[in-house]
Structure 1
């Protein structure tokens, strides 16, 4: 794959100048696909264009979405960036580790690098849309980075490890699953496990997030998602048969 398959996703960006600076950083590394989720600033205004310099095309061609799930639905590998640690925020990759993982992909896949709000980052629910968590090692004295600087660091690592042209891949079992298919599988999984009483009704997401991280590290293929969907469907059928027997 190449950097042409990398998508930068900004969730709730608050500063027009930051959006413009991100556009410039993207063009520095041959990336042109920008997606904005509920932007709070005008990405087509003078401030954004001034900071973008000669990367105005990135801004004019940017796509705007109402939610993060829709913005990454067609992507196969989604990295959510965060500097916050704690419950449900573990197993982090550095930008270099993420770039190595991307470079190991056997075919041209769509990669999403997701960045949060300048003041509060990504929510835990938004990180649930991501397959991997990514953090940039920084000094404890000032751990939070400028948005465009963070984008530039991540893209530098990708750019330095990826070819400039996409390599052909294999179809079938090796085809990575798009985020939309994985999300549908998780929705089915949630319903099936809830029906058999496997999930804690007071906090069902606790165990589901463990599965999300597990499957995210594995990097599910389209075929594997289909197999899992079949598993949940079979579980649903067995559960219904047991209920019929009790009646």
Structure 2
């Protein structure tokens, strides 16, 4: 039996999106316990799973299952599951125009995560058969790719969890204090506010709102901003918007020319 009061607990949440096979969840629990990861979140209904199958594979990591948190099996459910995370990494082997353009290897991700994260790290794993949907991957700040054979690239869910958790476990080091990185909800809010200011000055069209917000979400997440830095950035764009508005008003007033005379006045 593992201790939930472990002093070596990693600030890592493993999030399973719509898992289908109960025994895979049990194997995931054991893989997590091997690497001091105890925060399991499932985007799915608890009643859909066979607890006996899960416990049979979890062995002595059953506490992870019993303490797992469940969220509505939807995109909104995933957003709720990652809301308190400062970095959200989605595992995928597929790249493309509507998905992330590139992905980190586990080693690159660990180096980035432990260097920049001052809060919870969320690693999101998709359904065993279909992986993460485009919408689910869009919620993630970055993509995580596990290199594997081109002939047989598919990994078992628990194996993928084991590889990522083990790499995080090995690379883990003490975090510095006095710096708090913004969580997912604050990243989203900052991106939306910046987009509003840029739309207001006419830099972006409202039709591209979702793409613009997603762009700023990913930039802010990868930059590792603190809450104070994110607020400063928002304020900077707000001031630009205000100054641009004042400038336009002054130009409009100073450059107003007299009306052209009508032909009859000549």
TM-score range, shorter chain: 0.7 to 0.9
What's the C-alpha RMSD, in Å, of the aligned pairs? 2.7
Partner of 2:177: 170
Query: By how many angstroms is 1:27 displaced?
Result: 0.7
Tell me, what secondary structure is at the counterpart of 1:183? helix
| Larger CA Rg, structure 1 vs 2 | 2
Structure with bigger RCO (C-alpha 8 Å, 6+ apart): 1
Hey, what does 2:84 align to over in structure 1? 74
Residue correspondence of structure 1 range 229-244 to structure 2 within 5 A: 229-235=234-240, 237-238=242-243
Aligned residues: 241
Give, in whole Å, the separation in 2 of the partners of 1:200 and 1:156: 44
Q: 1:36 aligns with which of 31, 35, 42?
A: 42
Structure 2 stretches lacking a partner, 5+ long: 1-6, 254-266
Q: How many angstroms apart in 2 are the aligned matches of 1:196 and 1:160?
A: 47
- Tell me the residue number matched to 1:46: 52
1:243 offset after TM fit, Å?
A: 8.3
Instruction: Give the deviation of 1:205 after TM superposition.
Output: 3.0
C-alpha separation between the residues in 2 aligned to 1:112 and 1:181?
15
Q: Which residue of 2 aligns with 1:225?
A: 230
**Equivalence for 2:165:** 155
For 1:1-247, list aligned pairs within 5 A. Answer: 3-39=9-45, 42-43=48-49, 45-66=51-72, 67-87=77-97, 88-105=99-116, 109-163=119-173, 167=174, 169-171=176-178, 174-235=179-240, 237-238=242-243
**1:180 Cα deviation (Å)?**
1.5
Deviation at 1:11, TM superposition (A): 1.5
**Structure 1 stretches lacking a partner, 5+ long:** none
The normalised TM-score by structure 2 is 0.79
Offset at residue 115 of structure 1 (A): 0.9
CA distance in 2, matches of 1:122, 1:2: 30
> Residue 239 of structure 1: CA displacement?
6.3
TM-score computed with the length of structure 1 as normaliser: 0.85
